[in-house]
Amino acid sequence: MCKILAVIPARGGSKEIPRKNIFSLSGKPLIEYTFDVAKGSKLINRIIITTDDNEIAELGKRNGIDVPFMRPKELAEDNTPTLPVIRHAVEFMGKEHSYKPDIVMLLQPTAPLRKSHHIDEALGLLMNNPDADSVVSVTEVPHQYNPYFVMKIEKGLLKFYNEDAIKYTRRQSLPKVYSRNGAIYAFRLETLNEKNSLYGDTCLPYVMSFEESANIDTMYDLMMAEMLLRNR
């Protein structure tokens, strides 16, 4: 059986929204949406939180989520990249629990509209493509933010950011482009250990709809997610 470890990174601090990971969204802490879908996955074998915060740790335990360690302070700063946080968690599980997963899934607490079937479909995509290093969820970029339509201000004048923009005068002719939505990152252990990456060289896209791709960073994001949850 393929061993799949889900890692939920949730530090206590945040810049835009105080205590963001446990901020109330439609009556429950933001992070609980991630707990619920992780537990609802048919493929994930083990779920852990990496946090520096006692309140988040206790909330995880009450929800049946494993908290095998408290994250070191140096890995919980505002500017701490995700990669060393995940590496620390995976290495701890290997050294202290003799647990070595085949696939690691990073589930950020800031994607409350992600569902269990998204997780399992993304994992299935990676498992069925043995040459792939990873799968990352993306959503199509709205036409007004397409790289061929965005502009810059140069010496007080508006200019197209992309010099090839003149080729595309109608939005229907624009090439489709995608952005990461922060919901799903699934990668093989070898991708993390040997390539020191969450992506590797061959990264497959898992496309999600715009409505399912809320990524909470600001109060406006929370308001929009609240509206989308009400209309589900």
Domain span at residue 41?
4-139+178-230
pTM, rounded to two decimals: 0.92
The pLDDT, as a whole number, for residue 173 is 74
Regarding whether 164 and 75 lie in a shared domain, the answer is: no
The predicted-structure confidence for 129-148, as pLDDT tens digits, reads as follows 999 999 999 999 988 888 88
Total of domains in the chain: 2
Regarding whether 29 and 80 lie in a shared domain, the answer is: yes
* Residue 14 pLDDT grade (very low, low, confident, very high; cuts 50, 70, 90): confident
The pLDDT of residue 166 is above 80: no
The pLDDT, as a whole number, for residue 38 is 99
Regarding whether 128 and 111 lie in a shared domain, the answer is: yes
The pLDDT of residue 111 is above 70: yes
Regarding whether 100 and 51 lie in a shared domain, the answer is: yes
Q: What percent of the chain has pLDDT over 70?
A: 97
Regarding whether 149 and 58 lie in a shared domain, the answer is: no
Return d(Cα 29, Cα 228) in angstroms, integer: 16
The pLDDT of residue 151 is above 80: yes
* Residue 13 pLDDT grade (very low, low, confident, very high; cuts 50, 70, 90): confident
Enumerate the H helices of 15-112 as residue ranges.
30-40, 54-62, 82-97
Regarding whether 42 and 24 lie in a shared domain, the answer is: yes
Nearest 5°: phi and psi at 29?
Answer: -60, 140
Regarding whether 38 and 25 lie in a shared domain, the answer is: yes
Judge contact between 44 and 4, C-beta under 8 A: yes
The pLDDT of residue 165 is above 70: no
Which residues are CB-neighbours of 198 under 8 A, at least 6 positions away?
Answer: 82, 83, 86, 106, 134, 136, 185, 187, 191, 192
Regarding whether 163 and 134 lie in a shared domain, the answer is: no
Regarding whether 149 and 224 lie in a shared domain, the answer is: no
Nearest 5°: phi and psi at 174?
Answer: -65, 140
In this structure, what CATH number is given to the domain that contains residue 47?
Answer: 3.90.550.10
Regarding whether 103 and 215 lie in a shared domain, the answer is: yes
Q: What percent of the chain has pLDDT over 90?
A: 83
Nearest 5°: phi and psi at 71?
Answer: -65, 135
Regarding whether 207 and 163 lie in a shared domain, the answer is: no
Regarding whether 118 and 156 lie in a shared domain, the answer is: no
